[in-house]
Chains A and B, each alone.
Chain A
Amino acid sequence: MSACLEVRDLARAFGGVRAVDGASFSVLPGEVRGLIGPNGAGKTTVINLVSGLLAPSGGAILVEGREVQGLAPHRVASSGVARTFQNIRLFLDLTALDNVLVGQHRLRHPSLPSRLLGLPASRAEERQARERAAALLERVGLAERVHERARNLSYGEQRRVEIARALASEPRLLLLDEPTAGMNPVEVQAVAALIRQVAADGRSVLLVEHNVRLVMGVCDAITVLNFGKLIAEGRPAEVARDPAVVTAYLGTAK
Chain B
Amino acid sequence: MMEGLADLYATYQSTLAYIGLNGLLALSIYTSLSCGQLALGNAGFAAIGAYAAALLTMNAGAPFPLALAAAAVVPALVAIPLGLPVLRLKGIFLAIATIGFGEVVRIGLVNWDYVNGAQGLVAIPQKASVGLIWIVLAAATLLLWRLRGSKWGFALEAIRQDEPAARTMGIDTASYKLAMLMLGAALAGLAGGLEAHFTFMVAPNGFGFSRVVDMLVFAVVGGIASVWGPLFGASFLTVLPEAMRDLAPLLGIEPGPLRMLVNGLILLAVILFLPQGLVSLGARWRERRAARARRAA
Contact = CB atoms under 8 A, between A and B. Distances in A.
Interface of A: 51-53, 72-74, 76-78, 82-83, 85, 89-94, 98, 101-103, 105-106, 108, 110, 112, 115-118, 122, 126, 129, 165, 169
A221 to B, nearest CB: 25
Contacts of B157: 91, 93-94, 98, 102
Nearest to B175: A74
Contacts of B155: 102, 105
B292 interface: no
Given A74-B170, A105-B170, A91 B162 contact: yes
A83 B168 contact: yes
A61 to B, nearest CB: 15
A199 B172 CA distance: 28
Interface string B159-179: 001101111111111100000
Contacts of B164: 53, 73, 89
9 nearest interchain CB pairs? Answer: A106-B170, A77-B170, A73-B167, A89-B165, A91-B161, A116-B146, A102-B158, A74-B172, A115-B150
B170 A92 contact: no
Contacts of A118: 146
B93 interface: no
Contact of B151 (A73, A76, A92, A108): A108
Nearest to A165: B169
Contacts of A73: 164, 167-168
Contacts of B168: 51-53, 73-74, 76-77, 82-83
A127 B147 CA distance: 16
A80 to B, nearest CB: 10
Given A102-B155, A118-B146, A169 B165 contact: no
B152 interface: yes
Nearest to A82: B168
Given A52-B167, A77-B168, 14 more contacts: A73-B168, A74-B167, A74-B168, A77-B169, A77-B170, A90-B165, A94-B157, A98-B157, A102-B158, A105-B170, A108-B151, A110-B150, A118-B146, A122-B150
Contacts of A76: 168
A107 to B, nearest CB: 9
A101 B155 CA distance: 9
A105 to B, nearest CB: 5
Nearest to A78: B170
